[in-house]
A = this chain, B = another copy of it.
């Protein structure tokens, strides 16, 4: 049954958000590019120019947090979505919705952060839009970025390409971004600092593609976390996935906060991590390529693709049990990105 009102769950990146997309948006805008449900759309222009195109809106609160701010996040988020298509991100748009009365000093600080992030990723802000709404009609600042990247001729990366035997690499620790926002919002402080992992991943993707031509899937596990993203890939590829719990990388402090607050790190957002599905014979080479990148030093193989239990993600626990990892149900944390 379709609910009558939009709830926070519809924006969670989890199961209910997925249903909104599958039941309302896809049938309406019926076309194969959108149905691909990848991080970005892959377009062919002028016969042979393949372009990745992606959009993302950022409503994170607070606007500034350890390890980043909404500006940096807005650049990296779209850069990464474009990069996950195997593209070289080149151009981004910047659209601001600002609440009347927002401090000019904060806006300036955020725009400077956007500029730094764009420079770091090597993308140019080429077009924009500014809307100001009356006090109370928005909460501070929302940012939309859209991005365009060029896909090299020989690169074919999609959501549907996972194959039995593929190794699954996670480029670093889980849950850093989500738990940072959570602790900030709750006013919690800990002895060991927790920081957002917000980072551009396009340079890492270039290294991955240089290391192997057998990369089948690239995705960044943002909203909904590693657990939800792996479920989407399992579904798109009609493949089964087995994860080893003991292989999942996490910072101790983040693991501690997750336990304390009752969050499953598999469902907590990351903003500077990717999942790569790679043919087994190239897995070590790709792992080495990822680890050679500034943002991939803690990369690990976390599992593999199996012909068994298609569409399902199964976790082999530390104590030898097996449990199904479903998509995120409900919203753990609104306004995480």
Nearest CB of chain B from residue A58's CB, rounded to whole Å: 8
Let me know if A28 is at the binding interface, CB within 8 A: yes
Binary interface encoding of chain A residues 78-108 relative to chain B, with 1 for a CB under 8 A from any of its CBs, else 0: 0000000000001101111111111111011
Chain B residues with Cβ under 8 A from A144's Cβ? 55, 57, 95, 129, 144, 146
Let me know if A24 is at the binding interface, CB within 8 A: yes
Let me know if A187 is at the binding interface, CB within 8 A: no
**Distance of A112 Cα from B104 Cα, bound (Å):** 38
Let me know if A150 is at the binding interface, CB within 8 A: yes
Chain A residues numbered 116-130 whose CB sits less than 8 Å from any CB in chain B: 118, 124-130
Let me know if A29 is at the binding interface, CB within 8 A: yes
Known: A51-B148, A124-B31. A4 touches B103 (CB 8 A): yes
Chain B residues with Cβ under 8 A from A95's Cβ? 55-57, 144, 146
Name the residue on B nearest A137 (C-beta). B139
Known: A118-B29, A132-B334. A101 touches B43 (CB 8 A): no
Let me know if A261 is at the binding interface, CB within 8 A: no
Nearest CB of chain B from residue A22's CB, rounded to whole Å: 12
Nearest CB of chain B from residue A121's CB, rounded to whole Å: 13
A54 touches B5 (CB 8 A): no
Known: A28-B112, A31-B124. A97 touches B57 (CB 8 A): yes
Let me know if A297 is at the binding interface, CB within 8 A: no
A11 touches B131 (CB 8 A): yes
Q: Select the stretch in A33-41, A228-236, A267-275 that faces chain B.
A: A33-41
Known: A59-B137, A91-B53. A127 touches B34 (CB 8 A): yes
**Distance of A10 Cα from B96 Cα, bound (Å):** 11
B28 touches A126 (CB 8 A): no
Name the residue on B nearest A100 (C-beta). B8
**Distance of A331 Cα from B142 Cα, bound (Å):** 21
B104 touches A137 (CB 8 A): no
- Copies in the assembly, this chain: 2
**Distance of A163 Cα from B280 Cα, bound (Å):** 63
Let me know if A3 is at the binding interface, CB within 8 A: yes
Nearest CB of chain B from residue A13's CB, rounded to whole Å: 9
B97 touches A55 (CB 8 A): no
**Distance of A131 Cα from B222 Cα, bound (Å):** 13
Nearest CB of chain B from residue A119's CB, rounded to whole Å: 10
Binary interface encoding of chain A residues 284-301 relative to chain B, with 1 for a CB under 8 A from any of its CBs, else 0: 000000000000000000
A138 touches B142 (CB 8 A): yes
Chain B residues with Cβ under 8 A from A128's Cβ? 25, 34, 55
Let me know if A309 is at the binding interface, CB within 8 A: no
Chain B residues with Cβ under 8 A from A321's Cβ? none
Chain A residues numbered 122-168 whose CB sits less than 8 Å from any CB in chain B: 124-134, 136-139, 142, 144, 146, 148, 150
**Distance of A115 Cα from B34 Cα, bound (Å):** 13
28 A-B pairs with C-beta separation under 8 A: A3-B104, A5-B103, A6-B102, A8-B134, A10-B98, A11-B98, A11-B130, A11-B132, A11-B133, A25-B128, A29-B114, A29-B124, A31-B125, A33-B127, A34-B124, A34-B128, A41-B93, A46-B48, A53-B146, A55-B128, A57-B95, A57-B96, A57-B144, A131-B335, A134-B334, A134-B335, A138-B142, A144-B146
